[in-house]
């Protein structure tokens, strides 16, 4: 007797009836009259399901080869999405004073140089007055230099006076540049002598704002925090044995509700954390589509590299439990045969096979549960 699916060319009932009738006639012929006949052992492979190519296509069963490569498994662990530290900027008050204008709120985008706040301060007035004074002194020194140059050319003034005028003009220029740099370190004028503007240091969006309008702030007090979220990071902690199999560039898979994305490891700590005895590892994800938000809890699968051995992986959907043991349905010329295997670690939607496959087989990668169901029906028919 052979095992066929219910979607065969003939109805399943007709196939079973035909098989039953044939077996019945053989039994009557083989069993002598008046003697009890023992139940015959099946002569076929009880783990094989007979199917034609058309039946396989009609059932939607895809046949693929196992993946062979250097991934020996994966570590599954929880993690949290964080902003990339390289793209997070704290915007402080460069000078003490009162906040008279705030132009951005939480979540709003900014470009480099965007005005974020205006601070009114006596120190700002002092700085800008100093610039005005040094600029006037520099202009006077250069006018005096030009006069001395003319007098020296006419042989009216000695060279010593010319050298002194040249030195005074140079010192005035230095003083002016110093005053301008001091003001540049705090901001530029905001439309009044006593005001300084605070500008965004880079492109991004506001992720924190601790400033309030009218607030008196001290120098270096944090006003805003800006992050460029086109990239985000995931920080994990691995046991030293697993961390030793991870390298910069190792692939990770980050999953959350309705989302899955691959990333790459960018940092592996050279030391073990004294408290947890684990190794911190950081991976980076592209976030141009804003799928990930800092602070979000996710699951991370770190794909570990093999330790020199040849590894075989199959889709998780290809594995079926038969008699409480994992099996893979391997393609045969006449259908499929359930092959027992030993499983390793899972990573994403794949599972590593440590025993039972060579990697050269062709296996049922989808809808293998239908083969398992047919195998169960066939086994029940044998018992009957």
Residue-wise pLDDT tens digits, 227-282: 998 899 998 888 888 888 888 988 888 988 888 898 999 999 999 999 989 999 99
Q: pLDDT, tens digit, for every residue of 163-202? A: 999 999 999 999 999 888 877 777 655 556 788 888 999 9
Q: pLDDT, tens digit, for every residue of 75-99? A: 788 888 998 888 899 999 888 889 9
> Does the pLDDT at position 341 exceed 50?
yes
- Spell out the SS3 assignment of the chain: CCCCCCCCCCCHHHHHHHHHHHHHHHHHHHCCCCCCCCCCCCCCCCCEEECCHHHHHHCCCCEECCEEECEEEEEEEEEEEEECHHHEEEEECCCCEEEEEECCCCCCEECCCCEEEEEECHHHHHHHHHHHHHHHHHHHHHHHHHHHHHHHHCCCCCHHHHHHHHHHHHHHHHHHHHHHHHHHHHCCECCCCCEEEEECCCCEEEEEECCCCCCEECCCCEEEEEECCCEEEEEEEECHHHHCCCCCCCEEEEEECCEEEEEEEEEECCCCCCCCCCEEEEEEEECCCCCCCCCCEEEEEEEEECCCCCEEEEEHHHEEEECCEEEEEEEECCEEEEEECEEEEEECCEEEEEECCCCCCCEECCCHHHHHHHHHHHHHHHHC
Compute the average pLDDT of residues 296-321. Answer: 80
> Does the pLDDT at position 305 exceed 90?
no
Phi, psi of 173 (to 5 degrees): -65, -40
Q: pLDDT, tens digit, for every residue of 13-71? A: 333 333 343 344 444 444 444 444 444 444 445 688 898 888 888 888 988 888 776 55
Per-residue confidence band for 320, with pLDDT thresholds at 50, 70 and 90: very high
Per-residue confidence band for 308, with pLDDT thresholds at 50, 70 and 90: low
> Does the pLDDT at position 73 exceed 70?
no
Please name each of the domains of the chain with its CATH number: 12-70+310-383 (2.40.420.20), 72-84+229-305 (2.40.30.170), 87-118+197-227 (2.40.50.100), 122-193 (1.10.287)
**Between these two residues, 363 and 33, which has the higher pLDDT value?**
363
- Model confidence, pTM: 0.50
Q: Which residues contact 216 (CB under 8 A, 6 or more apart)?
A: 96, 97, 98, 99
Q: pLDDT, tens digit, for every residue of 98-149? A: 999 999 999 899 999 999 999 888 887 788 788 889 999 999 999 999 999 9
């Amino acid at each position: 007797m052979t095992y066929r699916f219910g979607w065969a060319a003939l109805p399943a009932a007709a196939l079973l009836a035909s098989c039953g009738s044939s077996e019945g006639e053989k039994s009557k012929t083989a069993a002598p009259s008046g003697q009890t006949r023992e139940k015959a052992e099946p002569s076929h492979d009880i783990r094989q399901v007979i199917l034609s190519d058309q039946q396989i296509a009609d059932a939607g069963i895809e046949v693929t080869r196992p993946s062979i490569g250097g991934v020996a498994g994966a570590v599954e662990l929880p993690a949290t999405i964080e902003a990339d530290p390289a793209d997070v900027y704290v915007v402080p008050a460069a000078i003490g004073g009162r906040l008279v204008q705030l132009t951005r709120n939480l979540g709003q985008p900014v470009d480099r140089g965007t005005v974020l706040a205006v601070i009114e301060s006596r120190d700002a007035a002092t700085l800008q007055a100093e610039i005005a004074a040094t600029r006037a002194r520099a202009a006077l020194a250069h006018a005096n230099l030009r006069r001395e140059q003319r007098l020296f050319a006419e042989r009216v003034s000695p060279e010593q006076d010319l050298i002194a005028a040249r030195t005074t003009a140079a010192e005035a220029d230095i003083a002016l540049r110093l005053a301008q740099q001091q003001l540049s370190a705090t901001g530029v004028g905001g439309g009044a002598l006593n005001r300084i503007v605070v500008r965004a240091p880079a492109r991004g969006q506001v992720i924190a704002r601790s400033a309030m309008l009218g607030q008196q702030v001290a120098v270096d007090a944090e006003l805003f925090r800006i992050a460029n979220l086109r990239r985000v990071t995931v920080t994990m902690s691995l046991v030293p044995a697993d961390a030793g199999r991870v390298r910069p560039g190792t692939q990770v898979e980050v999953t959350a509700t309705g989302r899955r994305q691959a990333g790459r490891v960018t940092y592996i700590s050279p030391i073990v954390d004294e408290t947890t005895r684990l190794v911190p590892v950081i991976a980076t994800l592209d976030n141009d589509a804003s799928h990930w938000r800092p602070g979000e809890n996710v699951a991370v699968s770190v794909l570990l590299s093999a330790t020199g051995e040849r590894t075989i992986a199959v889709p998780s959907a290809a594995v079926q439990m038969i008699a409480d043991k994992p099996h893979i349905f391997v393609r045969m010329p006449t259908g499929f045969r359930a092959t027992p295997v030993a499983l390793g670690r899972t990573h994403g939607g794949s599972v590593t096979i440590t025993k039972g496959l060579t990697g050269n087989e062709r296996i049922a990668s989808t809808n293998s549960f239908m083969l398992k169901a047919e195998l169960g029906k066939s086994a029940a028919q044998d018992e009957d």
